[in-house]
Structure 1
Amino acid sequence: MTRYAGFKLLIVDDHAHNLFTLRTLIESQMDIVVLEATSGQEAIDLTHRHPDIDLIILDVQMPDMDGFETASMLKLRKRTRDIPVIFLTAAFKSEEFQQRGFAVGAVDYLLKPIDDNLLINKISTYFRLIEKERELNRTLEQVVVERTAELAEARQYLMNILDHMGEALLVLDPQGNIKLTNPAAQRMLGYRGEDLLGMSIGDVFEEEGDAEAGAFMGTWLEALIRTGALSRIEARFIASNGRRVPILFSRTAVKDGDGRISDIICIAKDMTGYARIEDDSAEADTSRRRGRQDENSVGGVRR
Structure 2
Amino acid sequence: MNRYSGFTLLAVDDHEHNLFTLRTLVQQHMDVTILEATSGQQALDIALSGAPIDLIILDIQMPEMDGFQTASMLKIRKKTRDIPIIFLTAAFKTQEFQQKGYEVGAVDYLLKPIDDNQLINKISTYFRLIEKERSLNLILEQKVAERTAELAHAKQHLENIITYMGEALLVLNPDGKIMEVNPALRKMLGYSDEELLGMGIGDIFEEEEDEQAGAFMGTWLEALIRVGALNKIEARFITRDGKRIPILFSRTAVKNEAGKISDILCIAKDMTGYIRQDESSGDNTIDADALS
Unpaired runs of at least 5, structure 2: 281-292
Cα distance in structure 2, aligned partners of 1:128 and 1:153: 37
Report what 1:25 is aligned to.
Answer: 25
SS of 2:211's partner is coil
Query: 1:225 Cα deviation (Å)?
Result: 1.4
1:99 partner amino acid? Q
Query: 1:192 Cα deviation (Å)?
Result: 2.0
Query: 1:64 Cα deviation (Å)?
Result: 1.1
**1:97-138 Cα deviation digits (max 9, x unpaired):** 111111111110111112000000000000000001111111
Cα distance in structure 2, aligned partners of 1:122 and 1:2: 18
Cα distance in structure 2, aligned partners of 1:50 and 1:206: 70
TM-score of the aligned structures, taking structure 2 as reference length: 0.90
Query: 1:195 Cα deviation (Å)?
Result: 3.4
SS of 2:123's partner is helix
Report what 2:45 is aligned to.
Answer: 45
Work out whether residues 206 and 215 of structure 1, in 8 Å CA contact, stay in contact via their aligned partners in 2.
Answer: no
In angstroms, what is the RMSD of aligned CA positions?
1.8
Query: 1:203 Cα deviation (Å)?
Result: 2.1
**1:74-102 Cα deviation digits (max 9, x unpaired):** 11111111111111111122111111111
Query: 1:3 Cα deviation (Å)?
Result: 1.6
Report what 1:289 is aligned to.
Answer: none
2:9 partner amino acid? L
Report what 1:197 is aligned to.
Answer: 197
SS of 1:211's partner is helix
Unpaired runs of at least 5, structure 1: 281-303
Query: 1:169 Cα deviation (Å)?
Result: 0.6
1:94 partner amino acid? T
Report what 1:235 is aligned to.
Answer: 235
Cα distance in structure 2, aligned partners of 1:81 and 1:199: 53
Cα distance in structure 2, aligned partners of 1:207 and 1:140: 53
Work out whether residues 237 and 247 of structure 1, in 8 Å CA contact, stay in contact via their aligned partners in 2.
Answer: yes
Report what 2:153 is aligned to.
Answer: 153
- Between 231-240 and 32-41, report the one with greater CA deviation: 231-240
Report what 2:260 is aligned to.
Answer: 260
Query: 1:214 Cα deviation (Å)?
Result: 5.7
Query: 1:279 Cα deviation (Å)?
Result: 10
Cα distance in structure 1, aligned partners of 2:267 and 2:224: 15
Taking the TM superposition and a 5 Å limit, the aligned residue runs for 1:120-199 are 120-199=120-199
Cα distance in structure 1, aligned partners of 2:246 and 2:52: 67
Report what 1:206 is aligned to.
Answer: 206
Q: Give the 3 Å change call, closer, same or farther, for CA 128–38 of structure 1 in structure 2.
A: same
Cα distance in structure 1, aligned partners of 2:231 and 2:45: 73
SS of 2:216's partner is coil
Matched, 1:114 2:114: yes
Instruction: Report percent identity of matched pairs.
Output: 71
SS of 1:136's partner is helix
TM-score of the aligned structures, taking structure 1 as reference length: 0.87
Report what 2:223 is aligned to.
Answer: 223
2:11 partner amino acid? I
Q: Give the 3 Å change call, closer, same or farther, for CA 133–171 of structure 1 in structure 2.
A: same
Residue-pair matches, total: 280
Taking the TM superposition and a 5 Å limit, the aligned residue runs for 1:286-301 are none
Query: 1:2 Cα deviation (Å)?
Result: 6.6
Cα distance in structure 2, aligned partners of 1:222 and 1:279: 35
Work out whether residues 39 and 65 of structure 1, in 8 Å CA contact, stay in contact via their aligned partners in 2.
Answer: yes
Report what 1:283 is aligned to.
Answer: none
Report what 1:300 is aligned to.
Answer: none
Cα distance in structure 2, aligned partners of 1:223 and 1:212: 13
**1:52-76 Cα deviation digits (max 9, x unpaired):** 1110000111111111111111111
Matched, 1:78 2:72: no
**1:5-52 Cα deviation digits (max 9, x unpaired):** 111000001111111110111111111100000111100100122241
Q: Give the 3 Å change call, closer, same or farther, for CA 221–276 of structure 1 in structure 2.
A: farther
Cα distance in structure 2, aligned partners of 1:115 and 1:162: 70
